[in-house]
Structures are given as C-alpha cells and as structure tokens.
Structure 1
Amino acid sequence: MTSYISSWIWSERFWLPENVSWADLERPPPGVDYPHLEHIYIALPLAVGVCLLRLLFERLVAKPCAHILGIQAGAPRRAQPNDVLERVYKSKTSPDTKQLDGLSKQLDWDVRKILRWFRIRRNQDKPTTQKKFCESMWRFTFYSGIFIYAIRHLWVSPWMWDTRQCWHNYPFQHISSGQYNYYVAELAFYWALMFSQFTDIKRKDFSIMLVHHLATILLITFSYANNMLRSGSLVMCVHDASDIFLEFAKMANYAKYQRLCDGLFVVFSIVFFITRLVIYPFWIVNSVLFESWEIMGPYRAWWLLNGLLLVLQVLHIIWFYLICRIAIKALFKGKVAKDDRSDTESCSDEETKHKNPGQTLRPNDISHTGNLNGDTHDH
C-alpha cells in the first residue's frame, strides 16, 4: 500500500518530461551527480537545529547587542486579576459588543473599563521591543549570510547571466556541492520559520505568510526533486535580497535610530520593487514560463511549479501595496509610519469603535506611530 501511494505521488508522468524516468536520474555518468529527494530529508532535523541555533543566537549575541543599544526588555503593564475576564480572554481575546454588555452587568464594571482590561491583557502577552529586536537581528544575520553565499556561487554560474542555460540538457544537469548546501540551508530555514510562526510575533498577514511559507517549501522541494536547481537558486537569491534591508530597518527602529530606519526603509522599498516586481517576473518567471517551453516543452509538474511561482508574484504585489501605503504616510509625517500589517492597538481607537460602531473613522482619527513592527519573510 505504501509503495503504491509513493509511486502515485512521485509518478514519472507527472514530475518528469516525456521519455525521462527516475531510473535515468539514478544512473548519472562518472563524475556527475543528480539530485535525489532523500538527500534533502536532512532539512527537517536541521530545521530543529536552526530553531535551537536561533535561541542561542538571540540569547548570546542579539540580547547583548540590544543592551548595548539601550533596548531594555521592560515589564509590560499587568491586567488586574479577574477570574471571569480571564476565562473569557482564553476563549476570545477581543469580545464583541454583546459579550461586553453581559460582562458589564455581571461585574458591575463600565464597558470602557472592561475594554481597557482586555487591551492591557493582550499587550501583556505581546513580546517586548527587545524580543522583536532579537528576532529581526537573527533574520538579518541569516539573510545576509545566505545571500552572500548564493551570490558567490551564482556569480560564476553561466545560468545567472543567460537564463536559457537553466533548461539546456534538462533534467540531466549536474548538482554541485554549493547548490546542494544552498538548497538544504534554505529549506531548513523555511521549515524553521513554519514551526516558529505559531510562537513568533503575530501579524495581521498571518494567513498570507502561512501561504507564502507553504508555497516556498513546496517550490524548494519540488524543484529539487525534478532538478530545477538552477532556476530555483535564482528565485531564492532574489527573494533574500530585500529582506536584509527590511530586517536592518526594523532593528534601527527598535533602537530608535529614526533617520537610519527611514533611509533603510527607502532602500528596502527600492530593492523590493527591483527584485520582486522587475527581476523576478521579467527575468526568472519569464524564463520558467517561456524559455523552458521553447527549449523542452511543458509537462504536468511544469504547470504546478509555474503556478506556485505566480502565487508568489501575487503576494509580492500585495506586499508592495502595503509598502506603498507606509511610504505615502511617510511623505506626510516625515518618518516611516506603522506597518499596516502590525498587530498594534490603542485604547482610544478600541473604545471609539465600541461607542460608535457604525461611524467611519476619518483620516485624522487614525493614530500614527513611528514603529516599523511589521514583518516580511518574504520569500
């Protein structure tokens, strides 16, 4: 039964071009290596190692840096102990109007006081600025290191300068140790992101990021299994470039270097636009869609992989829209405004919504902050 399911999932008719079998890839010529799926199974235990390495890095490197920069952990204000409200909070962190009215009658509390309790209780569970700084510093370090490694490898690769080389003699293309290490490191990191997403700082774009991580993991795994490593390396490298500047900007913001934060955000926006809205669609996706069709023709997995690439492009457009909103606010404020994907909240906004649930907020009613608390893994 297991062998039948495995043969169905890894059908040669689906994953490989016509007249190519898995057996052909298992018998490479002397001195040539082809990728095998079992070679990247090590990414899962490595992902656990990445999570542990992150904990050590944040404790031994990032936290001391935060202290040097004057970023203290701080103790959040604690909500007044109340068993009734605590039980409600565990089931629903933001009660609706009907629940608020019921709690008001039950406790003989003013609704505004209950709203304030829930706001303080939610903030009590949120990570401190120091925690967010450590998280950003870890990602900045990884993105910088893996990007430098990728550029060193790709700079001497002919397919970086001529994307048609990605499809010549496909799928019988040699895999180098550099390609293998790059793929395993990226896959382990994204599995670690998938695991940690449920414990890290919660964002408004949680669902988008979940789709993003799943699409990325599937792309890396599938492109490795059917030896699309050349185009896959280009995709990963392009995605890492802008994240370096975003995480650096967030670190500067947490350290209250506002001018540096603003400058880095401008650089991030430019790099994001160039890499993900110009290079990615018009250079890489164009190669995977059109050059591969011309050189080797489409097959079933070809449609799946291109579909995943297009999903990522849609996400890029959504993210760039959010980036533009921040940039527009910055033009009027003179500094980077709050990331629209952040999960920050203010007491006045919450209480206003309860008092006037049908009223539309005017632009002047919106509270602006200088915090760049959003996130992009953007890959």
Structure 2
Amino acid sequence: MSQRILHVIQSLERYTPADELLTLLPTLAALECQQSVLVLGRGGALAGAFAEAGVELRCLEQRWTFDPSIIGQLVMHVRRTSPEVVHTWDRLSRRYVSAAAASSRGWRFVANWSSMEPARLRIGMPMFFPRTPDRWLVESESVRESLSRQLTDSAIAVVPPAAAPATSDATRRGELLAEFGLPDDALLIGTAGQLVVPLGIKELIWAVDMVRVLHPNIRLLIAGDGPQRDHLQHFAATAAVPENICFLGDTDRWCDIVPHLDVYWQGTEVQAISPTALLTAMSAGVPVVASDTPQHREWIEDNQNGFLVGYDARADRTRITDQLLVDAELRQTIGEAARQHFHEHYMPAARAEQLADIYRQAKL
C-alpha cells in the first residue's frame, strides 16, 4: 500500500542534501512511496533533474532569512496535499515545518539532523511553539549519541548517507583531458562542493602548489559554484600557478569525471558540506585525502580506505598525495578499499529501504 510523502528542503543546489534526495527518489517510488517535493527557495541547479524524476515540485521562493509567509504557505500546502509523512532534509526546512505544524496533526514528522549542524539544537522559529519531530534521522552512531543527550525522550534512527555511484568509464581519459584543455600526461586531483569559505579551497590551492614542485604536471579540478568563486579564481591566479588550477563550474558531469581522478581532496572544516561528492569518489575507487574532522572520520578509516590530515596541514596533504601519485600499488589498494566500503555502507538502495521502513513505522 502506497504512502504519501512530502519532502521539504531548503534548495535544489548541488552538493547539498538535494543530491542525496534526488538519488533516492526512484528507489523510494519503487517501494510504493508517492512523493512530492517542496522547496523553500527558488530551486537551484538540480531543479531540472527533479522535474525529470516525475515528482510534483513546488518552490516557495523564500525572500528573507526569516520569511513569515513561508509558514502560512506550508500550512496551506500540507492541507491541500494531505501527506502521511513530512520529511525535512535540512535545518532550515525542519525549523519552518516545526513552526508551521505547531498545532497540526494527521501526519508524521521525520527530520534529518546532521553532524554538519551546530552542536546546539534549535527546533522551531522564534515566536512559535514548535512541534517536535516524531522521528529523527542521523548519519552515524556517534551523531545519535550526541543528539540523544539533547533529546532524551525522542526516537532517533541511524541511517547512513547515500550517494550516486560514479558512472562506468564511458569517457576515455584522453577525451576528458582534451575537453578541458589539459596535457596528455596530466595528473588529476579533484574536489567538489559549493564554493563557500568552509569548503577550504584556499588551503587546497596552497597545497597543490606544493605538490606541483614534485609533480609539475599536476592539475587541481574544482567542480562547483558559489559566492566565493570570483574571489577564489583571483586567489588562484595570484597565489599559485594558474594553469594548475581548473575551475569547472557547476557541472553535471561529476560522476563522469571522478573515475579519471588520481586523488580526491576534501578540505572542509567541521560542519561544512554534504558528503555526496566524497562518497562518489570512494565509489569510483579514487583514494581520498580529507580533513581530519568528526564528520570525515565517520566515512574514512585513516590509512585503510583513505587518509585524514589536519585542515591546514598542507605538508601532510602534499606528502600523502605524493605517495599516492608515485606508488600505483598503494593507490590501487586504498582505492579498492574505498570502493568496497562504499558498496557495503552507502548504496542508495539500502538507504531507500531504511527510509521506507521508517516512514511506515513512525508513530503519530
């Protein structure tokens, strides 16, 4: 018997929870979830892909940081569509739904809480008495323990993140290098995410300039867009060798590009971004060198299926990357361990089945 599920999310930008939701939609539909998506903002780069997924999609076009009209629109939308479950995918959507649903019943409230959020939990909006979610979803056991100290009487389920696996090697490496105007012998380091300060792109630019001393043919491919892009491009042109840094923009080809990377870098600070790009790199068997943060420790076992270094430890990042570039056997061993770890823990089908069970079991 099908269930009506309303997904509420802040935006449909890449490298946000929207990536994961888009990946899960088809499998959830196959599990008899009748889904619709409500976006607080105006949409984003993934809006077209969501439309192609065949779900009802509506954007509320939030105008301010706190837009009271969103609460009223949420109330009206829920009354019109009568979902059985409302699932919020980020902190902002959770707070709006909590405020809008303060006196509402007749549907179950499922909410994500991530290690990327501030340690102090906030439920609803100011001036409202929020409704607490019926079921909280967290990405790991350590996050569950942290949240349970704040919500002693709440139901909390551990559901690991999921990401789209990298596509098969349909594009030859030579074709990819020619497309981006790169030399035939280029060594490729990649990173992807929204270009905001916590992504740590400046640190990666400094680090790749150090790698360049050992490997002059190195290239850092940066996929994504955001408010820091112009600033980062100027920084790369003045603080490093510009031809070693390639800004790819908001490309939809990340899953095609990632199998050709020699190393993937994640430079984020604590509480920074969605893990989808990192997990996709692991799915392709690409060795990952990531910042040593609580978030990354959930997905990477240091020296086993990837490497963890200090956020600003450029020398350590350079040293490990050099080892991976010169030692093909090490690169293959770490990459294969990453691929296996991804397929054991982060495949979309398993995540969708867990969600479908939670939707059925959440109590009013």
Q: Does the TM-score normalized on the shorter chain lie above 0.5?
A: no
TM-score, normalization by structure 1: 0.26
With a CA cutoff of 8 Å and minimum separation of 6, indicate the structure with the bigger relative contact order: 1
The structure whose Rg is larger is 1
Q: TM-score, normalised by structure 2?
A: 0.26
More strand by share: 2
User: More helix by proportion, 1 or 2?
Assistant: 1
